[in-house]
Chains A and B, each alone.
Chain A
């Protein structure tokens, strides 16, 4: 199991447009990626490719989240997703 922490950089948090962009990107990695707030139990981790899950996660600007994935390509997928979270997607 690979794991990365990332700080949400988008000014509106992980809602609206940033959430759709991130969910779409997570879906395209071909790897099952989960997302949870930092410190939350691993059982509460949610599917990162689900825009509805992301919306109910409640990650705001500056929140730290944990991404997890397993198997082939997990590290590359997580690296690209972390980079995305740490970009202000509202400013694009």
Chain B
């Protein structure tokens, strides 16, 4: 048995066979010539066959894709056999260039043209590069880049997954995610939690396993082992039995002694909201409005926005819905708001800061939220992402007031906001801790980097201290303004108990985690949660903090969490 330790990011135990995500394609060397014995005509014919095969693959994928992905895939399929691309490639082949290099260069010229056109066209350049990689792979007879196609369900092993990969991930086929790179808050981790897939990241060496290898994945312990035996198989079976129990949340978040902690859902639009309501969520703690408009080139009209937000409000009549204004930038660019060329986008003009560079968008969004709130019974709260100072909070509150929105708040993601929570809460009605970014900024560790996974861990005592300071700021401000958590940390049942012990009043998470968090929270009293929080807060490192908390929560082992 070979074992690969990593970081568990989404619970679950499963035995299955693996499929490796193909490595990124190597560029055909510049100046590569036709192989001896291959005529230009043969190479051109091979190119046509490869292009048609790629077109057929893309059309097959388009046929089963959702409406948005379908349009993109159909356009990409057309690009594969595009006459301009093929003609330019054949011209190069006729000068003695290999088919692989010819299509590489011909596509490069198109990409340059599209990039120079800017805006929407520049973004389509990525589609041309995707088509190029697929054609070269087809010419070489190797698997196309991207998530492998398979009839049977499999465990996907990759170096790391990009947001674009996760969009094409079929949860009926992929039963667990394992990456050699990536950190606990990488996209792989987020997508795994939202799909309820067991996942382990930063497991060095897994990318050397052969396709078809049978492995045991433990998303709680963060391990992968080959040659699973009876112990592993029965652990997987026990998880499968528990998993169905852990999908039911009774809709009442509370500690054992009746201290109420509403458990809310993080949603990206009306579809998510309907699912979250069905899963028992007591409201929405984070509506990521940018997810309604991620594919958009231009600012959505007020009417479109009203419709998108109202769909969410209607799913939660009488309940709280916290709307976060557009959080564009870094890993979530929106062409109408962000500059793709910043040298350090995580520290750039993102979140609330885009109001400096693109004024007006925020005011129109607030107007749309206010209009959408009319005629619904949802309690609409609004918060700004990436607030750093009390002045920013005050300005955001005045914009909300001007739009007729009564409950303005802020995200606490920047350490300065946690440290100055008292004066910030003097300006707004509530705060919500975004633990993913708060961890990245506190530890100065990029969320996406595997080598920094140990730093980028919300159990870091420094992060817990900032949570404590934010709550202390609210107490010092003296009007009992609520401090919630809407980051991925709230979805970890053990960490959720610690957060409640630190004085957090609501927890918002992916709807999949509500049942597990609810079940664990119900086993401790508020006083016990406070004691566990104190133990974690004074741990020397995140592993010790987590171990201390888990030791006090025997329910976790019972449920396999």
* Chain A contact residues, CB within 8 Å of chain B: 15-17, 19-20, 23-24, 27, 46-47, 49-53, 55-56, 58
Contact = CB atoms under 8 A, between A and B. Distances in A.
B82 A50 contact: yes
A20 B120 CA distance: 15
A16 to B, nearest CB: 7
Point out which of B74, B75, B79, B120 has the most chain A C-beta atoms below 10 A from its C-beta.
Answer: B75
Contact of B75 (A16, A27, A50): A16
Contacts of A49: 83
Interface of B: 71, 74-75, 78-79, 82-85, 110, 113-114, 117, 120-121, 124, 128
A23 B121 CA distance: 16
A69 B117 CA distance: 28
B117 A47 contact: no
B126 to A, nearest CB: 13
The 8 closest A-B pairs by CB, nearest first: A50-B84, A20-B75, A51-B78, A50-B83, A52-B82, A53-B84, A47-B83, A52-B84
A55 B114 contact: yes
A56 B75 contact: no
Contacts of A23: 78, 82
A19 B82 CA distance: 12
B82 A20 contact: no
Contacts of B74: 20
Contacts of A19: 75
B431 to A, nearest CB: 40
A55 B121 contact: yes
21 contacts: A16-B71, A16-B75, A19-B75, A20-B78, A23-B82, A27-B83, A46-B84, A47-B83, A47-B84, A50-B84, A50-B85, A51-B75, A51-B78, A51-B82, A52-B79, A52-B82, A53-B82, A55-B117, A56-B113, A56-B117, A56-B121
A15 B128 contact: no
Nearest to B81: A27
A17 B492 CA distance: 42
A56 B83 CA distance: 14
Contacts of B128: 52
A64 B82 CA distance: 24
A55 B75 CA distance: 11
A23 B84 CA distance: 12
Nearest to A53: B84
A16 B83 contact: no
B84 A16 contact: no
Residue with the greatest number of chain B CB neighbours at <10 A, chosen from A19, A50, A51: A51
Given A55-B121, A56-B113, A17 B82 contact: no
A35 B66 CA distance: 32
Nearest to B107: A52
A17 B79 contact: no
Contact of B110 (A46, A47, A52, A58): A52
Contact of B124 (A27, A53, A55): A55
Contact of B78 (A24, A46, A47): A24
Contacts of A16: 71, 75, 120
A19 B84 CA distance: 14
Contacts of B114: 55-56
A34 B403 CA distance: 51
A51 B75 CA distance: 8
